[in-house]
């Protein structure tokens, strides 16, 4: 394994902010019922920020995570969702993008977001050709916290410079 993390991808703040604004419902593939897992942390945080998060995890289909019914696949989710958040590895991400593309119109999907460490260039290209916005190797919780000041409370470099009052939420 490389001693360094791979080079960081660049997404303009405007793009991330726009996604966080237009998306209200997120299907989270790989959501875990274990409260100490990162996916559970992120799901709970996004719920607190007003998003509906629908967990997708075939191992827990029919059960509940954080008050939401778990579905076995994206196509089983009985409502629209604007974003797919992938908490699976980079190889699985390709398959999930493949499952997303045929559902774009039916589910009104606009964005596929891959979590920290998850990158798949060919899945990205396929998704973009199908009209999806793709974000890779980022966490929506961290990005929300970064753009709205909370990440800075942990001494983390947000990269934000502004002489305007910071908004605390969308």
Partner 1 sequence: MKKKDTGLQPPYGFETRSIHAGATPDPYTGARSTPIYQTTAYVFDDVEHASDLFNLQTFGFIYSRLNNPTVSVLEERIASLENGRACVCASSGHAAQFLVFFTIMEPGDHFIASSNLYGGSITQFGESFRRLGWNCTFVNPQNPDNFKKALTPKTKAVFIEILANPGGIVVDVEPIAAIAHEAGIPLIVDNTLATPFLCQPIKWGADIVVHSTTKFLSGHGNSMGGALVESGKFNWNQNDKFPTMTSPDTAYHGLNFYETFGDFGFCMKARAVALRDFGPSMSPVNAFMTISGIETLPIRMLRHVENATVIAEFLESHKSVEWVSYAGLKSSPYNTLARKYLPQGPGSVFTFGVKGGYDGGVRLVENVKLFSHLANIGDTRSLILHPASTTHRQLSDEQRINAGTEPDVIRLSVGLETANDLITDLDQALDSLK
Binding mask 88-117 for partner 1 (x = CB under 8 A): ----------------------------xx
Q: Minimum Å distance from CB 128 to partner 1?
A: 22
Give the dihedral sign, CA 8/81/102/60: positive
Strand (E) or helix (H) holding 37: none
Choose, by CB under 8 A, the member of 9, 91, 121, 170 that binds partner 1.
170
Distance (Å, rounded) from C-alpha 69 to C-alpha 33? 11
Q: Is 130 helix (H, G, I), strand (E, B) or coil?
A: coil
Contact 83/113 with Cβ under 8 angstroms?
yes
Nearer Cβ to partner 1, position 50 or 163? 163
Judged by CB under 8 A, which stretch of 70-78, 97-105, 121-129, 161-169 contacts partner 1?
A: 161-169
Contact 97/126 with Cβ under 8 angstroms?
yes
Told to check if 53 binds partner 1 by CB under 8 A, we report: no
Nearer Cβ to partner 1, position 12 or 62? 12
Distance (Å, rounded) from C-alpha 121 to C-alpha 84? 17
Q: Which residues of the shown chain bind partner 1 in the complex (CB under 8 A)? A: 1-5, 12-14, 17, 21, 35-36, 38, 41, 44-45, 48, 116-117, 139, 142, 145, 147, 149-168, 170
């Amino acid at each position: 394994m490389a001693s360094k993390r791979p080079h960081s991808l660049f997404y303009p703040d405007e793009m991330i902010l726009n996604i966080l604004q237009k998306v209200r419902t997120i299907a989270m593939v790989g959501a875990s019922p274990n409260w100490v897992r990162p996916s559970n942390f992120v799901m709970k945080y996004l719920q607190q920020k007003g998003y509906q998060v629908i967990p997708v995890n075939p191992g827990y289909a029919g059960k509940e995570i954080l008050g939401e019914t778990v579905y076995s696949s994206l196509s089983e989710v009985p409502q629209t969702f604007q974003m797919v958040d992938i908490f699976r590895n980079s190889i699985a991400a390709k398959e999930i993008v493949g499952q997303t593309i045929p559902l774009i119109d039916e589910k009104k999907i606009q964005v596929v977001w891959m979590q920290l460490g998850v990158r798949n260039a060919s899945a990205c290209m396929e998704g973009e050709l199908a009209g999806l916005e793709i974000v890779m190797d980022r966490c929506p919780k961290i990005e929300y916290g970064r753009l709205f000041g909370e990440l800075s409370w942990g001494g983390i470099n947000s990269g934000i410079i502004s002489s305007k009052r910071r908004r605390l939420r969308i």
